[in-house]
Amino acid sequence: MKITIVGTGYVGLVTGACLAEIGNDVFCLDVDPRKTEILNNGGVPIHEPGLEEMLRRTRAAGRIQFSTDVKASVEHGEIQFIAVGTPPDEDGSADLQYVLAAARNIGKYSNGFKVIVDKSTVPVGTALQVRRVVEEELKARGLEGSEKHGFSVVSNPEFLKEGAAIEDFMRPDRIVIGIDDDRAGARAGEKMMRLYMPFNRNHERTLYMDVRSAEFTKYAANAMLATRISFMNDLSNLANTVGADIESVRRGIGPDPRIGYHFLYAGCGYGGSCFPKDVQALVQTARENGHQLRVLEAVEAVNEDQKEVLVRKIVKRMGEDLRDRTFALWGLAFKPQTDDMREASSRRIAQSLLARGATVRAYDPVAMQEAERVLALDLADRPDDMKRLHLVGTQHEALKGGDALVIVTEWKEFKSPDFGLLKSELKMPVIFDGRNLYEPEAMAELGIDYYAIGRPHVEFDNNADRIV
């Protein structure tokens, strides 16, 4: 099938590559000529495991192309995926200007029946707005009501995890498709069924529903996952106060099939391109419709507070004035296996430490280039703080001359470091762990002063030769 993807961010690029991988003829459109040039020259503008290799194969086979030619992109695809950004507006609602601009172009250049697929995460009712924009353009061309230039707007939300997006697309746990109950919708449904047929050979994964329910499903899924994270983070702070171990609690509730283990890890807050903006957007949708989502308002508030938990632990241990302190910071991306810095907890933590006069030496295995760009923007009006931020080339280089280590992202290479080298490089063997990578008792036996999230602070009594 001939497919057009509008937007080559995480969702668009992964969708295009995977659909080309299974044999479709894919045209990827982006308005950014720099990004298109990178892709045409064999590069990949984002870090996603397996994506570079897949693009290399599909490019070599001639099944995927990249262009800024809007007219050519519309004329190419019988199915038009809109996979552009929907950043949060000032009030937290999703900004649909890029979605509607893509829809306008489809109406302006349509050369036949089009299935217009909202792949971007969009609020309930967006499909109707897309329909109206396309109809306006067709009417301006004198093609309103034309059988040949008919169209249907479909909701097909993505459920991709950054760092595992290829696997999620190629082996989905479900495929949600929202279609209209009319003749055009039936025609669109047939095309979508054919497109996704290769993913349903072992068992049927596709769930068909009305468009508004499909739009809502995406927000509901992300809101539920964000809720689980904030729930455990809230409990972790109480666990610290009452002397419980949140890891023991997690293992105690996880075996219950009604609860499960997923997204129950306490940490220093969630980030990324989805959870923060989607929770905000759903809360705003509720307000616009006269409702209050009190649980999700609390989820957002807990997450904002959680990004300061490590800083509070540092201040309690070392004092409010950190002008003579240097901190090694391991992990900048919001999660492992990505270079995405959007809403990353590291940004808040670094800014808070710098604001107190500290020096920060930071390292991330993948996100250094993106971190340099983003942190420069964050600190644009704080030049003195920027001078005390050093992005270094290795995790060990970050340790040199540090008073303590701060762990923010749970990259695999941070899970079993050389603790002897770590102790020799740091002025004091102190670790503030925002991802609970190590066991408190083991750290105490190594002589490391270890502070985790929702876990007891354990010390080793050398005189008694035992943990206290």
- For 314-362, write each residue's pLDDT tens digit: 999 999 999 999 999 999 999 999 999 999 999 999 999 999 999 999 9
pLDDT tens column, 390-436: 999 999 999 999 999 999 999 999 999 999 999 999 999 999 999 99
Beta-strand pair 389-391/449-451: unpaired
Residue that terminates a domain, selected from 286, 305, 324: 305
At residue 92, the pLDDT reads 83
Please check whether residues 228 and 142 belong to one and the same domain. no
User: What pLDDT, on a 0 to 100 scale, did the predictor assign at position 203?
Assistant: 84
| The two structure tokens encoding residue 251 | 């293992």
- Asked if the structure places residue 143 within a domain, the reply is yes
Residue 11, number of CB atoms within 10 A of its CB: 26
Structure tokens at 86: 């929907």
Position 465 pLDDT exceeds 60:
no
Out of 81-95, 188-202, 289-303, 314-328, least confident range:
81-95
In a domain, residue 123? The reply is yes
Give the mean pLDDT of the chain: 95
Angle of CA points 191, 194, 200, to nearest 5°: 140
Does some domain include residue 288? yes
How far, in Å, CA of 162 to CA of 451, rounded? Answer: 28
Sign of the four-CA dihedral 122, 160, 253, 467: negative
| Shared domain check, 328 and 300 | no
Residue 214 within a domain: no
Do 297 and 436 lie in one domain? The reply is no
Where is the domain boundary, 143, 175, 209?
Answer: 209
CA terminus-to-terminus distance, the chain = 66
Position 281 in a domain: yes
HEC string of the chain equals: CEEEEECCCHHHHHHHHHHHHCCCEEEEECCCHHHHHHHHCCCCCCCCCCHHHHHHHHHHCCCEEEECCHHHHHHHCCEEEECCCCCECCCCCECCHHHHHHHHHHHHHCCCCEEEEECCCCCCCHHHHHHHHHHHHHHHCCCCCCCCCCEEEEECCCCCCCCCHHHHHHCCCCEEEECCCCHHHHHHHHHHHHHHHHHHCCCCCEEEECHHHHHHHHHHHHHHHHHHHHHHHHHHHHHHHHCCCHHHHHHHHCCCCCCCCCCCCCCCCCCCCCHHHHHHHHHHHHHHCCCCCHHHHHHHHHHHHHCCHHHHHHHHHHCCCCCCCEEEEECCCCCCCCCCCCCCHHHHHHHHHHHCCCEEEEECCCCHHHHHHHHHHHCCCCHHHHHCEEECCCHHHHHCCCCEEEECCCCHHHCCCCHHHHHHHCCCCEEEECCCCCCHHHHHHCCCEEECCCCCCCCEECCCCEEC
What is the predicted pLDDT for the residue at 19?
98
CB-CB contact of 338 with 367 (8 Å): yes
Q: Is residue 167 within 8 Å of residue 181, measured between CB atoms? A: no
Q: Are residues 365 and 426 in the same domain?
A: yes
Pairing of strands 25-29, 64-67: parallel
Which positions are catalytic? 274
Residue 197 has pLDDT above 50, yes or no: yes
Total domains in the fold of the chain: 3
What CA–CA distance (Å, rounded) separates 326 from 309?
18
Verify that 284 and 406 share a domain, yes or no: no
Same-domain check for residues 40 and 125: yes
Bridge partners of 67, per DSSP, are 29
What is the C-alpha separation between 446 and 52, in angstroms, rounded?
41
pLDDT in tens, 425-464: 999 999 999 999 999 999 999 999 999 999 999 986 554 4
Residues 87 and 127 in one domain: yes
pTM: 0.92
- Same structural domain for residues 121 and 256? no
Model confidence at 157: pLDDT above 80: yes
Residue that is last in its domain, among 276, 305, 334: 305
- Strand 449-451 and strand 175-178: pairing? unpaired
Range from 137-146, 223-232, 252-261, 326-335 carrying the lowest mean pLDDT: 137-146
Nearest of 78, 81, 76 to residue 118 by alpha carbon:
81
Residue 148 — very low, low, confident or very high, per pLDDT cuts 50/70/90?
Answer: confident
> Which pLDDT does position 466 carry in this prediction?
47
292 plus 415 within the same structural domain: no
Query: Is residue 75 domain-shared with residue 144, that is, in the same domain?
Result: yes
pLDDT surpassing 80 at residue 287: yes
User: 380 to each of 151, 351, 373, 376, 384, how far by Cα in Å?
Assistant: 46, 12, 11, 6, 10
CATH of the domain at 434: 3.40.50.720
User: How does strand 151-155 pair with strand 114-118?
Assistant: parallel
Whether residue 360 contacts residue 392, with contact meaning beta carbons closer than 8 Å, is answered with: no
Phi, psi at 97, each rounded to 5°:
-60, -35
* φ, ψ dihedrals at 328, nearest 5°: -85, 130
Q: Can you state the angle between helices 10-21 and 51-60, rounded to 10 degrees?
A: 50
pLDDT, position 218: 95
Q: Give the number of other CB atoms < 10 A from CB of residue 355.
A: 13
Is residue 415, in this structure, part of any structural domain at all?
yes
Q: Are 202 and 224 contained in the same domain?
A: no
Between CA 284 and CA 92 the distance in angstroms is 6
Placement of tokens 């303590």 in the chain = 404
* Same domain as 264, residue 248: yes
Quick one: tokens of 9?
A: 């961010």
Q: What is the CATH number of the domain that holds 275?
A: 1.10.1040.10
Going from the C-alpha of 304 to that of each of 264, 408, 462, the distances in angstroms are: 17, 15, 39
Domain of 379 in residue numbering reads as 307-467
